[in-house]
Structure 1
Amino acid sequence: MKTPSRDIHPVCRMRSGIVCLGLLFGFVLIGCRLFYLQVLQADVGAHQAQQQHEKTVVVQPDRGVIVDRQGHPLALNVEVASLYVRPPSLQDPQRVARSLAPILQMPVAELRDLFTRNQPYVWVKRNIPEPIVKKLEAMNISGLGLTREPHRFYPKGELVSHLVGFAGIDSQGLEGVELQYESYLRGEKNLVKYQRDALGRKLASPLSQDSVPLSTGYHLTLTIDEVVQFIAEAELAEALKRSGAKSGSIVIMDPLTGGILAWALHPTFDPNHLGQFSTQDWRNRAVTDPYEPGSTLKIVVAAAALEEQVMSPDTLIYGGDGQMSVAGTIVHDPAKSSWMTFSEAVARSSNVGAIKVAMELGQDRVFRYLKAFGFGEKTEIDL
């Protein structure tokens, strides 16, 4: 039986009106929100959706190669295998640690600690030799994985090792020109996009249309000559053997260009096997260790004497029979001589002659010319 509208209580009518208005207001809000998201924020929504099914990863480029002046490689990249573990996926970590310990030559406790970490991904061992890689592949343990990654290799071993330096396990420069030119050798990072599903699993890895080919680091050509370097190191080793000295250095420079042709030091080291050498063996003594300039200063004094017209090539200097007293010390020449010309004193590298020329110049002029030749200033060598 239908109830006449006049029988509906006014309060009920008011409540019904409020409910209808509320529903109408709600629908209006939803419509405004949809308009805002679908029209005004359409680009933002499309970008968020794209981020949900695409992922961008950073790919480090191959490190640049270092070569000598003839193009012979001194530092290059090779692929090596590294072992990692996904602890949540590994069954029975204790048993796996015991079985891998003798193969990897690692303590069982250390492996167990790596296998039980609360992390999704943990490195176990890097730079694994191929025979061990084959054994690991044959074991096929779930939760363990092998990946190939670039590793720095020095084909000449100890040759010019102090100059080239070395890179770390993640191909970052740590010593020598490897460190000095790190930003050039490492190159720019590459960004690669791939599609993924709702669980984040990789579906495909096509390069995006607007991407560029993967870049590599810049190659570096040194002024070093491998042949000259080999001869210098061989001669240095022979000289150390004859003299019984603990260390030595030979630097050979092109006098016309200033380019370094050889940089030989001892003790030396092999950057491929750093663990077998101490940090003292890495020290580049040619740039870190101070030493007396010795007879090289005689050229500076001679140049100053000619420039100041204190001496001429034919000026006579008394050699004092090869010895002279200076500040309470007797300075000797290699051979006795009486009178000699300025030219002869320079040619013979006479200590007495150089002292007398310096005394004629005076300490102020000697100091001024030493500064003019760069003594006391930074060499700005790129090491």
Structure 2
Amino acid sequence: MKNLSITGKFLLAASFMISLSSFAAEEYKGTVVPLTTENYSTTTNAYDRGWILTLARLGQIFQPDVVNEKGDVVSIGSALIYGDPATWKCYLDAYVNQFKYTTENKKLTYIVYEMFKKLVEKNARSQQDFTRARSAYEGAAGQYDNTKCLIEQTQITVDRMTTRPVFEGMVKTVKQASGSDVGNAIALEVVQLNPIGINIPIPMDKQLKITTATPIKIYVNGIEKPFGCSRIFFGVSSEGYIVSTGNYQIIGKNTILENNGTPILREWVPVSNFNFTSASSDVLGVPPAAILKDDKGSFVWRAKGQKVMDTDKGIDYKFPLEKVYIQQGESIRYQTGYNQLVSLKDKGTLAKNELILNYPPENLQDAQEVIYPQNAYLLMPGDEVRVVIGDGPITNSGESKN
């Protein structure tokens, strides 16, 4: 076989590099999957009664502790398992009482030690007496240090009777109930929600052609602008190509997605009757935090076509906003004891049970399409997303994306 020329070798290497870095655009249906699944058990052992007080409920969203650079907890995370600390609390109380004794005993023996030290220097007491005084002080100091250590160790054990997660996620399975613990068996199975994985069903030969330079776009239902993915974590397997992306917690709040700009709005409240009597049912009330002002007057943001108490239709996942001008009245009352309502002197086109936005973020626009999330996070395990991999026009259009 003839040797290739330097130019030929260069062209071959260049074509090889191009084949690795280029990937014609193809579309797939990806499935959201957790990157991590953890099992949590209780701290039952020979000295513990093994009694579970409470467990996190199925589907509960949780957060980990937040610590500073010294390792001190600055924000306490969610509790997954509350074990009964009664056994260890008894030990802790005993050690605390013992510590009071060892503290005073250490002080007293030190005073005696110092006294005998001065007396033996003046030959007023024997060296043997001084040695006994020194030994008594050293023994008391040892008891003090040992009891202090026992308190710290037992406090850690008491604290660990409460199990907290190491990442943010969701309870997937509850395998025990409150009450007697089942021999250190698994109590909870949890999954990580942020970051979150996307499993893409791509043939293995194509998976191997994807590089860190290959563009990957993730399209979430109802959001036109795509999301990116991590270039650090990815997985090649016979079941599909897994990439990770950031997730967004949207529990009870309004969010404008970072680097995307899509409004994810969850704090919707229904327009209510301000008064309790049917004779005054035409007077409506809204939360004061829902009312904004512009050059034309006071207004609220209404979810177009969305209302509660409708037996024929639920609330859509995506819908446009409507700006509705109103005039606030002078009356205030509380609903369910803590939700404040203000009366409307002029309700505009508002009607009872229509949804309006509470605590609206800035820069919303009339007729702007927004999303009302169904879950606590934007992406949840099992959700389907559209994934486009590669550059240029999609080449597998019309083919099965499964």
Tell me the TM-score normalized by structure 1.
0.22
Larger Rg: 1
The answer to which structure, 1 or 2, has the higher relative contact order (CA under 8 A, 6+ apart) is 2
Structure with the higher fraction of residues in helix conformation: 1
**TM-score, normalised by the number of residues in structure 2:** 0.21
Structure holding more strand per residue:
2
